[in-house]
Amino acid sequence: MERVEWDALLRQLALSYSLLESNGITNWVASAGSEQFLRDLVASQTPNWAVTGSFGASELVSVAAPEITMVYADDPDGIAALTRLRPVRRGGNVVIALPYDDIVFDRTWHRNGITYASPAQLCVDCLTGPGRMPAEGEALLDWLRARAPSWQAPSLIQPADAP
């Protein structure tokens, strides 16, 4: 049986990838706040989206209250229209990332109707994010270590259990 040093693999990936630089990023303001944006997103029944960054990490670890919602989506402008977001050049409280690869939608999990990126994707995204996100990434690494192999898929063709 082969063994993968997954924590070293995630750290190595974080050296060549960046959530905000490797994906097409758009910045938005959700006037009613991030929580309402997420409720509206769930209600829209739009396919192919997943929460990442601090809001995703906060479902697994507690570092600080999340402020900016980051979401991967195949159709950022469509989601923005459906959820009544306003575009901004910088700042805002919502970032929608058009993923460079659909792998961000693999092994997602759900809680309270919200789709989250896989724990490994959340970890790498936080490790490469701005502000306190790297600290959240480190906390996620600790969480992953403490709960392995429960969050890991048993094989490449089988799904992982939800965290």
At residue 63, the pLDDT reads 86
Q: So what's the pLDDT on residue 137?
A: 96
Q: State the residue for tokens 């959820």.
A: 83
Looking at residue 151, what is its pLDDT? 72
As given in the structure block, the two tokens for residue 45 are 């029944």
Task: State residue 30's pLDDT score.
Answer: 97
Quickly tell me which residue has 């989206």 as its tokens. Answer: 49
Residue 76 CB partners (closer than 8 Å, separation 6+): 24, 26, 96, 97, 98
Distance CA 15, CA 26 (A): 23
Which residue ranges make up each domain of the chain?
21-147
Q: What dotted CATH number matches 21-147?
A: 3.30.460
Cα-Cα-Cα-Cα dihedral sign, residues 121, 136, 141, 119: negative
Tokens 């570092």 label which residue? Answer: 63
Residue that has been written with the tokens 């929460």 in this structure: 51
Per-residue pLDDT tens listing for the chain (163 residues): 567 788 898 999 999 999 999 999 999 999 999 999 999 999 999 999 999 999 999 999 988 889 999 999 999 999 999 999 999 998 899 999 999 999 999 999 999 999 999 999 999 999 999 999 999 999 999 999 888 777 766 666 666 667 7
Q: How far is CA 43 from CA 76, 92, 96, 135, 153, in A?
A: 16, 22, 17, 32, 29
